[in-house]
Amino acid sequence: MEIIIQPDPEAAAKKAAHIFAQTIRSNPKAVLGLATGSTPLPLYRELVAAKLDWSAITTFNLDEYTGIGPGHPQSYHSFMREHLFQHVNIDPARIHIPDGLTLDTEASCRQYEEKIRNAGGIDLQLLGIGSDGHIGFNEPTSSLASRTRIKTLTERTRRDNARFFGSAQEVPLHVITMGIGTILDTRRVLLLASGEGKADAIAGAVEGPITAMNPASALQLHERAVFCLDEAAASKLQRIDYYKWVYNNKPTWQQ
């Protein structure tokens, strides 16, 4: 795992945006895994400002609420349109987001996995993290081998997301999410986290045991996982000085 610690959320997002921009520039046909939520907003702003060529980029979003359509203002379809897709020259045919209105969830999830495989797999996957350690919407006790499927949100996540809907009761109970196995299959993972509310989840993910109780801890098994953190999200890491030391003393070719 590579741990990058930056002074504030904007600086962490800038670093993450730099990694995404580099990937897009070096591989104009890259397959990107994308996330929603508050954390990636400054990253998407940076990517829009970078004026990159998205015409041959393919994207797969991690998750979507069920029971709300792409036109619903709180759907992740709307989120992605508003914060990224309408500002860049991406081909709509190359955008993939789970279908929250499907009448055959199992078939739709299977097809989502197939589409990822047919696209050649995901080159770089963006992740946020829930205060309980969830990645995508893989809540604690999710199978570490899980694939795209329907999940039930915990009360805690519904409370955390109430700010988007007005109240926790209005947050859909069910979601479709890539599984932890799906995420582990990606070639590179970039987890972005900011704020004190994420500090326990980050400490568990990086320094705790690999456990379904903290789904992000499964990333310890990923060959190329980068955690881009602000000081507050990193504040409960026991080896924080070590991670800074490693980052500041990389071999020149790696910097």
The catalytic residue among 96, 134, 160, 230 is 134
> Residue 98: which residues within 8 A CB-CB, separation 6 or more?
61, 63, 64, 108, 109, 112, 148, 176, 177
Q: How far is the CB of 239 from ligand F6R (least distance, A)?
A: 24
What are the structure tokens assigned to 32, written together? 């990107």
Nearer to ligand F6R, 131 or 244 (CB): 131
Residue numbers at the binding site for ligand F6R (CB under 6 A): 35-39, 62-63, 128-130, 134-137
Nearer to ligand F6R, 58 or 142 (CB): 142
132 is catalytic: yes
Nearer to ligand F6R, 52 or 158 (CB): 158
Q: What is the CA radius of gyration of the chain?
A: 17
For residue 151, the SS3 value is: strand
Cross-strand pairs, 59: 32, 95
Residue found by looking up tokens 């320094």 in the block: 207
Cross-strand pairs, 125: 33, 189
Nearer to ligand F6R, 151 or 244 (CB): 151
User: Positive or negative, the Cα torsion across 21, 221, 216, 58?
Assistant: positive
Q: How far is the CB of 175 from ligand F6R (least distance, A)?
A: 9
113 is catalytic: no
The catalytic residue among 46, 63, 64, 160 is 63
The catalytic residue among 46, 139, 160, 230 is 139
Q: Which residues participate in catalysis according to the annotation?
A: 63, 132, 134, 139
